[in-house]
Amino acid sequence: MSVTCPPPAPSQVKSPCINICRMHAPTGLCEGCARTIAEITVWSKADDATRLEILARLPERRASLVEQGVFTAAEPSSI
């Protein structure tokens, strides 16, 4: 008798990606979602807790990008 594991439940935490995928060289952050390459890479395999940790970092990063004149990540309402 073989036991099969059910597939993981779909995540309830949605990606912050807004399809503006361009890295801001001075900060290493995506100009669209404010994530790092490492965070973008891990996202699809991350559990909800990890995704929430990543999302918690984004408001401060967006504010930093606004200060630097990178406005694509400036409006959280567009995400």
| 38, part of any domain | yes
Residue 61 neighbours by CB distance under 10 Å: 18
Confidence of residue 11 (pLDDT cuts 50, 70, 90): confident
What pTM does this model have?
0.77
* C-beta of residue 23 within 8 angstroms of C-beta of residue 51: no
| 35, part of any domain | yes
Total domains present in the chain:
1
Domain of residue 38 covers 23-68
| 13, part of any domain | no
| 1, part of any domain | no
- DSSP conformational letter for 69: T
| 8, part of any domain | no
| 27, part of any domain | yes
| 12, part of any domain | no
What confidence tens digit (pLDDT) does each residue in 15-73 have?
999 998 999 999 999 999 999 999 999 999 999 999 999 999 999 999 999 888 886 65
Tokens of 3: 């036991």
| 46, part of any domain | yes
